[in-house]
Amino acid sequence: MAEREIVREAGKVVPGPEYDDEPLGPVGQKVVYEDDRVRVWDIVLESGGYFGLHTHELDYLIITLQGAKCKTWEKQGDVWMEYQFDFEAGDVLPVTVNGGQTHRLFSTDNKPFVNRLIEFKK
């Protein structure tokens, strides 16, 4: 089965100051499994929803259970970059964080985005 390439559309600089004082939260909503090698998070982002600022310190894999259009605001140095995604059910997206990835997730669709995020412990 051929894998569908998930395109992170070209980023653009977006404002971030209204969120600058937001505390960091966890990388998912609920841990559904954990052992000495992986931690699996449940994430459900309702239509028009928002998942707050968080930092990924471990490489991870996103497995999409219910697809939707989303965007992230990712902090890169002193600026925020916006990236658009169009996830479909069954999509698998590996992410290498290279020392850390700090971002927020927004739903831009009229349906929920449901996924499992698998962190790879070092």
The verdict on residue 97 lying in a domain is: yes
The verdict on residue 4 lying in a domain is: no
Q: How many domains does the chain have?
A: 1
pLDDT digits (tens, 9 = 90+) for 31-45: 999 999 999 999 999
The verdict on residue 60 lying in a domain is: yes
pTM of the predicted protein model: 0.83
The secondary structure of the chain, three-state, reads CCCCCCCCCCCEEECCHHHCCCCCECCCCEEEEECCCEEEEEEEECCCCEEEEEEECCCEEEEEEECCEEEEEEEECCEEEEEEEECCCCCEEEECCCCCEEEEEEECCCCCEEEEEEEECC
pLDDT digits (tens, 9 = 90+) for 13-68: 665 555 667 788 999 999 999 999 999 999 999 999 999 899 999 999 999 999 99
The verdict on residue 3 lying in a domain is: no
The verdict on residue 39 lying in a domain is: yes
The verdict on residue 1 lying in a domain is: no
Domain housing 55: 12-120
Tell me the CATH number at 45.
2.60.120.10
The verdict on residue 2 lying in a domain is: no
